Structure 1
């Protein structure tokens, strides 16, 4: 029998490797969201309709959701550092392909190739980030990783949009490719090679996904973020048509949302390390309240802006909590489960946007979207409470069984 592999020890100085992973997340996050700002430029240049160009967004999300688990299964025997380097190299090459795209089909191919890197990167990088630190700092390490995506929304997306308008949309993808290349160099030099080199058997990885508590945790992630995406997809028309902001003001409000996202991400990581259960309940409840209240706060510009900021705080404050929740339920083989969590979030993105559209087209209309979004998140909160009660009951039963076992002399 082979000896079990040694569990990697936390790093004495994990900040630099974590910042490199965060830079990768920044590049990937910028590539995912900047497309929204340059969509009209792409449609005009490639002579397609806006709705056809929108497929570049939905195709990316579906690519992340579908391919991420498959890539994790197919690359299960690769060392994790090698896999991250290969994924980021593919990311750089796919952005270079987007720069050279002369027709829509080539650009769509480039976007799908970019999506191959997204879910797998975050699945692997999350596990590696958690292994760099002690157990009481896991959520903090994950929040440092995710902060790259948060900062991409504050700085990267506005910068990429400005570059696209000033120089052309191809230069936006060129800038992302340069950032990705810098991230590859940082990974090669600073990321330790001994972390997450253990290869859990495929049977164990898939078996963990069959555990009811893992499936329940993934469903919680999808529901909590489904509510966020259901409203955020339509945040521009909500602010413009109901709160009467102009387009320029909406851009600055979204920057404020990004600042809230960054602050919430850091705070959520700290709170999850302090106590995961209260953090999950408190932040999800705050998120539901913000969504429900948005229907009312739209009547006042000041309150609407404050609500958008708090929505950013709570929506990404819960992300480290949800990630740690899934990892704790799948601790025997966390790689595939963590990647499935990324897929669940992207599926909730697509479904949330679709449900929001259904509400708009119904007799309830645009104003009711935050109301229904809050209901979805409230359902996620209900599942969190149910999961905690179930786990508490299971522990009590186990404790009684242990006490009932006679002690041998």
Structure 2
């Protein structure tokens, strides 16, 4: 395997860790800033919106520019955002830092995947992209819990500094190893979003958005859930680790299961299972005493991570199936839909915490994968209605 792909994956690991570490840092940040955890959740919303909106815009602006320079610029801005977060003296400054990190992380992700394709031979391009995306998976499994642990031991600012140092190492290696003059694909923003008009694309993106909305109503606010179950905040790195281990296993199993069952069946199963686990979380906290609720909530993280991470690969496969020739456009749009969902989930979850106990998060979150199932059913019904008879 080309070693440069590994370093692109490490860059994806560093830039993606920030997106998933919030669950472990929000209680620390809220205590430091003197605000509620739900208000601190605006950081997740700001980062995710910047990622979702900034990625297609910045990718269009970067156009055919040298990918080596674009990757370097993205990593430099990402490090600057982490440095600003670590040095911030107000919540507003920290919010601005999230916007910088979100936009630069999105630009890096899009450019790194395109660079992986350019570096690989035609028969190995899928494997090359999978290698880079593997960095994101391991960010969930290892990056988030480790950064949360660092934050709990040495303060939340240190977590940002550690991520920035890792990004610096990646920048140094990639700047020296990537070839000069590797051009990007010049597409306007209108060309990038034109794929939305193809049959099946927009409903599929809606399914992605709804699924991630429900998931991040819980992921972003694991701390209030843990407290409601009688657990200390210090247990959050362990919860994130259990979720991450399940995510790695689910990501691997998804490809095998989708090949056997088909991506559509895999997605339906993931949506149903996710809604069931969300309801189970609320039931555990509401109905059981703390000595049982706490351990069960930690234990359910692993199967929830497994189920949660069977969805993205199957959904990507289903999306590509709608228009294989537009995969280079539809897959980035799917990533934007994911981060719009993360932003929506963190915002809705935060507002719910202002008016209801944390135990209600699971019940509310379950509504979104169920809504995604309705979208799938209506899309299928619409397709049948448009198929001519005879």
TM-score normalised to structure 2 length: 0.79
Higher helix proportion, which one? Answer: 2
Q: Say whether 1:87 aligns with 2:80.
A: no
CA contact (8 A) 2:85 2:94 kept: yes
CA distance in 2, matches of 1:331, 1:24: 27
* The one of 23, 37, 49 aligned to 1:62: 49
Q: Say whether 1:266 aligns with 2:259.
A: no
1:324 corresponds to: 317
CA distance in 1, matches of 2:113, 2:377: 25
2:367 corresponds to: 375
Alpha-carbon distance, 1:272 to partner? 4.0
Alpha-carbon distance, 1:338 to partner? 3.0
Q: 1:305 to 1:190 in 2, by over 3 A?
A: same
CA contact (8 A) 1:257 1:308 kept: yes
CA distance in 1, matches of 2:327, 2:343: 25
Q: Mark the runs of 5 or more structure 2 residues left unpaired by the alignment.
A: none
Q: 1:286 to 1:129 in 2, by over 3 A?
A: farther
2:230 corresponds to: 244
Alpha-carbon distance, 1:311 to partner? 1.0
CA distance in 1, matches of 2:335, 2:318: 13
Deviations 1:277-305 (A, max 9, x none): 33323333322332233333443545444
CA distance in 1, matches of 2:284, 2:34: 38
Alpha-carbon distance, 1:213 to partner? 1.9
1:5 corresponds to: none
Q: Say whether 1:172 aligns with 2:164.
A: no
Deviations 1:90-121 (A, max 9, x none): 21233344445455554443332111112233
Alignment of 1:202-351 (within 5 A): 203-241=190-228, 243-272=229-258, 275-298=262-285, 299=288, 300-301=292-293, 303-329=296-322, 331-351=324-344
CA distance in 1, matches of 2:144, 2:339: 19
CA contact (8 A) 2:86 2:160 kept: yes
Q: 1:130 to 1:331 in 2, by over 3 A?
A: farther
TM-score normalised to structure 1 length: 0.76
CA contact (8 A) 1:208 1:332 kept: no
CA contact (8 A) 2:207 2:375 kept: yes
CA distance in 1, matches of 2:269, 2:183: 32
Q: Mark the runs of 5 or more structure 1 residues left unpaired by the alignment.
A: 1-12, 401-409
Q: 1:303 to 1:165 in 2, by over 3 A?
A: closer
Q: 1:361 to 1:58 in 2, by over 3 A?
A: closer
For 1:26, what is the secondary structure of its paired residue?
Answer: helix
CA distance in 1, matches of 2:77, 2:207: 31
Q: Which moved more, 1:35-44 or 1:181-190?
A: 35-44
Q: 1:376 to 1:207 in 2, by over 3 A?
A: same
Q: 1:256 to 1:339 in 2, by over 3 A?
A: same
CA contact (8 A) 1:95 1:177 kept: yes
CA distance in 2, matches of 1:286, 1:135: 35
Deviations 1:150-183 (A, max 9, x none): 4334433343344445555444333212211222
Q: 1:177 to 1:200 in 2, by over 3 A?
A: same
2:376 corresponds to: 384
Deviations 1:218-263 (A, max 9, x none): 101001111211233333333432x333333444233211211221
